[in-house]
Amino acid sequence: MFVNLTRKSLLALFLSSMVFVAIAEDAKDEKKEDEKEKETLTEVLDKKDAFKGFVDIYRDKEDGSGLVVFDESQLNKPFLYFVSTVDGAVAAGTFRGQFRGSRLIEFRRNYDRIEVVSKTPRFYFDPEKAISRAAEANISEAILLSTKIEHEEDGKIAISLGELFANEDLHKVSQTPSDDPKVEKRRFKPGKLSEDKTSISEIKNFPENTHVVVRYVYENSDPKVDGGNEVSDSRYTTLQIQHAFIKAPENDFQPRRDDPRIGYFSQQFDDLTSDQTANYRDVINRWDLQKKNPGAELSDPVQPIVWWIENTTPVEWRDTIKNATLAWNTSFEKAGISNAIEVKIQADDADWSSDDVRYNVLRWTSSPRPPFGGYGPSIAHPLTGQIIGSDIMLEYSFMKGRWIAGEMFTDGYASLNDGLQGDERMNCSLGHALNLGMMFGQYAGMADGMGKIEEEKLLRQSMAYLILHEVGHTLGLNHNMMASQLHGHDEAHDASVTQGILAGSVMDYPSVNYAPVGREQGDFYTEKPGPYDDWAILYGYSEALADPTAEEKRLSTILSRSAEPQLAFGNDADDMRAVGRHVDPRINIFDMSGEAVDYAQDRFELIKHMAGKLKEKTLVDGRSHNDLTVGVNVLFGEFARQASVVSRYIGGVYVNRAFVGQAGYTQPLTPVPEAEQQNAMDTLSAFVFAPDAIDEMAPLFAYIQRQRRGFSGWGRDESPRLHDMLLGAQKNVLDHVMHPNVLIRLTDTTLYGNTFTAEKMLANLTDSMFKADIKGDVNSYRRNLQVEYVERLIAMSGLEDKSKYDNFAQASSMYQLGRVADMVNKSRGDQATKIHKAFLKDRIERAFYKG
């Protein structure tokens, strides 16, 4: 009653004229409540629909009100609580199948109420140590909500379904505002939760898990930003969120410790009784795969991991999906477990649901604006890391070879890694990355007249890679963005060397391995787990020894191999996709081979070659220019991605996480050798900044035209923004190589071996911006780039505004401005060039004058 009164009173405050009505209604409610209490629980439940399972739920046939009925034995026991999105809106920050979080919760009785308590499992106290007696100090458990017991009878306790779920007490659904005011301004805001409109939309009950889907309705009378096509009316946003209570397993599962040299998802604990500086007691997420014959060298598991291919899966894809899933068994065999994974196909008339936690299902979805092409969340026990169940959602549009990245590059430069930003810890945007690679492969194939067999191989290997990768996540593995370094640049294209393994791991986002001009096509994508994957599975799943000391020694021996090149590892937390972030250029997405810069050179040549063929291959009688337009975007997107890959080697530092004394140990930080940094700089100079960088694309410009549709003009006029397009990619490179972090790193690293100094780097940049055409006409792309560069030097110098750069960079940039002023001093070239040079000269003078 208290809760009701409070809510109603709040409403009354806003609607002062309605106060009396509200109070009157409360009185009515109270009367009804009294009547209800006369009925026994059995009588009440008899009138309701029963959903029996792990936790029984009953719902009234008429008003939809419901009761959650616990058995007394279920109180004070940990439940796994797992939240995911059934249907969302990408603009509102959540999408179908998204994992939203998990906790360990307990339902506890406090007199006539039930409290839902979340116990933070973050901290560990060694029970052997006296200090553990203070374990409760300063660590509070959260009481998520407290609700009145509605009925009680024979060890059954009933609470209100609505009180438990139709609010944000258990789980906060609304998006947390961004710290970045610019992001916040652009963000669609669904508004406040309307508790009146929020309701329970579905109850699904199984022996070991109970799901309640809540339809949350948010209201914003005046949204400033539109919610996109999938929100019918931006004032009212509906999000379907699933709350799942899952039975905590009761078994002898042995947690396995995490280690920085290997990439598992983990549950983190701080050992507050430890005297180590790294007082971590994290455990990895893994399945309970115990050998049927303990001690045997190779044994089947007591319980294999069973994957079901959903009956919605296109029949022609089922074998590829099955084989890719089973391919993981070779890794498990090397770890002593045979037939670890089984794959079954869901019968067309199956009467079980993929929501039943006992079934792990490869599912399909098709969303209007797919955020990801496939991802595999798994449910893990927050204390032990034991994986209890998992589903993989595959995005159908990924396989349709349709352009799914948001903006067209030609409309102005879109985000380089469109759709690849955001919190990646539990989500995976590989599908998106693969879609970009597949599109590139298809257009390259079109340009080259690729045969049907090759085309099928591209599709098959893309799908196999997606499945291998997503299943890898469900086994507990996180990304390994360093894995594509496995082969040399030349070997990567040689199928007799790669034999289906292009990378150390399937957990990377590699570039599609399309053959350079004039070479035979090798593997497009990896189709088997790589050496890193075998090693990671060995670490995570090999049989433990009973003696803890011997077990620790066994694990340490496995880990001590980490410096072997084929076991290289680095995940998203360290990758260099974003400008200015992180240091090791080998940990990156869209790169390929251990000589990624040389690899990119071949790719730039291939792009030129493809551009030369695009018109002939895409302009078909009776059709619009849409294919050509998408083709230019595909080529240009790849151009920009490879430029980004190359740029990261400048100012880079190779990181080694080997522990002291292990085989292959080196100092952890080694600056990228000067020759490699210079190679990267020369590559950018030749292919990205050069006056002829996109000459081969120029004949296509007059043909870039999207197929008209109704009145949607994509918000812009029809002339492609060609200068913006190239400058956008160039700016992305400059954003990195001229980033304050990179500049200071170039100087910092001189203290431990770097010889490609900040001074050299900027001198190189000035040369590549100006030297090639200083004596003749400077074309419009170059003029655009040169102005951009000079503006950045001025910003770096601090001549006009306070500089964000270190002292060394400021001095160097001023020196480079002087060089540029000298170079543009001679008035040569055509009229536009003369005007441009006079402008630059004047611009630099004004900056110095002001300074």
Interface with Zn ion in residues 349-368 (CB under 5 A) = none
| C-alpha distance from residue 326 to each of 296, 317, 387, 692 (Å) | 22, 14, 19, 48
Nearest distance, CB of residue 186 and Zn ion, angstroms: 27
Cα–Cα dist 429/432, whole Å: 5
Between residues 188 and 465, which has the closer beta carbon with respect to Zn ion? Answer: 465
Question: How far apart are CB 310 and Zn ion at their closest, in Å?
Answer: 20
CA distances to 474, 675, 726 from 766, rounded to whole Å, are: 48, 19, 18
Residues of span 429-458 touching Zn ion by CB under 5 A: 430
- CA dist., res. 374 & res. 393, Å (int): 5
Residue with Cβ nearer Zn ion (265 or 756):
265
Q: Which residues of 396-431 are buried (b: 16+ CB within 10 A; e: fewer)?
A: bbbbebebbbeebbbbebbebbbbbeeebebbbbbb
Minimum CB distance to Zn ion smaller for 239 or for 537: 537
**Two structure tokens written together for 663:** 């085989």
Q: Which is nearer to Zn ion, 3 or 426 (CB)?
A: 426
Count of Cβ atoms closer than 10 Å to residue 734 Cβ? 21
Cβ closest to Zn ion, residue 388 vs residue 430: 430
Q: Which helix (H) or strand (E) holds 444?
A: helix 430-448
Nearer to Zn ion by Cβ, of 479 and 489: the residue is 479
Q: Which residue is nearest to Zn ion (CB)?
A: 428
- Cβ closest to Zn ion, residue 431 vs residue 651: 431
Coil, strand, or helix at residue 117? strand
Nearest distance, CB of residue 464 and Zn ion, angstroms? 15
d(CA 133, CA 129): 8
Q: How far is the CB of 524 from Zn ion (least distance, A)?
A: 18
Residue 370 to residue 395: CA distance in whole angstroms: 7
Task: Decide whether 290 or 571 has the Cβ nearer to Zn ion.
Answer: 571
| Binding flag, residue 477, Zn ion (CB under 5 A) | no
Stretch 554-593: interaction string toward Zn ion, x if CB under 5 A: ----------------------------------------
Total residues contacting Zn ion by CB under 5 A comes to: 2
- Indicate the residue among 420 and 430 with the shorter CB distance to Zn ion: 430
**Two structure tokens written together for 283:** 């455990």
Q: Got the DSSP string for 732-795?
A: HHHHHHT-HHHHHHHHHGGGGT--S-HHHHHHHHHHHHHGGGTTS---HHHHHHHHHHHHHHHH
Radius of gyration for the chain, computed over Cα atoms and rounded to the nearest angstrom: 30
Q: Measuring CA to CA, which residue among 162, 114, 148, 151 is closest to residue 38?
A: 151
Percent composition of the chain: helix, strand, coil (DSSP 3-state, to 5): 40, 20, 40
Q: How far is the CB of 95 from Zn ion (least distance, A)?
A: 16
Q: Are 745 and 663 spatial neighbours (Cβ–Cβ below 8 Å)?
A: no
Least Å from the CB of residue 433 to Zn ion: 9
CB 374 → Zn ion: shortest distance, Å? 8
Contact mark string toward Zn ion, 299..338, x via CB under 5 A: ----------------------------------------
CB of 265 to Zn ion, least distance (A): 11
State the Cα–Cα distance between residues 605 and 658, nearest whole angstrom: 37
| CB 478, min distance to Zn ion, A | 8
**From CA 321, how far away is CA 752, in angstroms rounded?**
48
Convert residues 372-411 into a mask of x (bound to Zn ion by CB under 5 A) and - (unbound). ----------------------------------------
Nearest to 817 by CA among 802, 797, 838: 797
How far apart are CB 57 and Zn ion at their closest, in Å? 35
Q: How far is the CB of 509 from Zn ion (least distance, A)?
A: 7
Residues 411-430 touching Zn ion, rule: CB under 5 A, are 428, 430
Judged by CB under 5 A, the chain residues 168 through 197 that form the site for Zn ion are none
178 contact partners, CB below 8 Å, separation of at least 6: 184, 187
Q: Is the Cβ of residue 66 or residue 371 nearer to Zn ion in the bound state?
A: 371
Task: Tell the smallest beta-carbon distance from residue 224 to Zn ion (Å).
Answer: 34
Nearest residue (CB) to Zn ion, 430 versus 459: 430
Contact 606, 498 (CB under 8 A): no
- Kindly tell me which of 162 and 374 has the beta carbon lying closer to Zn ion: 374
Contacts to Zn ion by CB under 5 A: 428, 430
